[in-house]
Amino acid sequence: MAKKSLSERQKNILTYIEEYVAEFGRPPTIREIGTAVKISSTSVVNYNLTKLKERGLLERDAEVSRGLRLTEKVAVATEQVKQSVGRAMAKANTAVGSVFRVPLIGNIVAGLPIEVGNDGDFSVYDDEDVVEIGSSMISGRHDNLYALRVSGDSMIDAMVNDGDIVIMRNENEARNGDMVAAWLRDGTTTLKYFYRENGRIRLQPANPTMQPIYVDPEEVQVQGKVMMVLRQTA
């Protein structure tokens, strides 16, 4: 008996995985797949992924949250050009095989500074909150990175929107033009461009409707520099 053809939902899942990998260089999460194909239940997404795996269209690594790999059979199932799917499959396999985990340790405001009340310590999230990134996406050391979720719109002209995640390198020094997480001595924190000028520090938003913040050097502490921005796709 011939196998039942794929449902439209399953075809959409395969297409989304392929397109996501082509754009971001890593497979999507279960929740991202559900949002993209309009499935509210993660268990329903998992059910369809299991069916796709049974048909040999996907491979899954249970130990990795983004552990999805397209197989060669996807080309036939989705009526895509085999060469295109092969490139996406190789990219996905490479991304899954070389991911590292960055702790998501809190929020950072891209707007007016807000009081954090903890001497600039962002570590308010659980240990299980992590972001997985392909090793090739950030050069240099990976053991001094952390992630913050952005709240606010002061950096929108720098393509950093509300809900995005910024990957930070833990550094206390910054050069002019660096985008930094800055903690101020009055107990507030903010995400801004950093500039030294005329004996002061200018924390510059990337939003023409907002004004820069000027502080004395001893009143500000750089806690990290932005290395990468992960866009909120939902």
Q: For residue 91, indicate whether it is catalytic.
A: no
Considering only CA atoms, which of 168, 167, 212 is closest in space to residue 194? 212
CA 43/CA 49 separation, integer angstroms: 10
The answer to whether 57 and 72 are in contact (CB under 8 A) is: no
Query: Among 41, 53, 192, 225, which one carries the catalytic annotation?
Result: 192
Q: For residue 98, indicate whether it is catalytic.
A: no
DSSP β-bridge partners for residue 163: none
Query: Among 41, 53, 139, 154, which one carries the catalytic annotation?
Result: 154
CA 202/CA 196 separation, integer angstroms: 6
The answer to whether 57 and 14 are in contact (CB under 8 A) is: yes
The answer to whether 52 and 68 are in contact (CB under 8 A) is: no
The catalytic residues are 154, 192
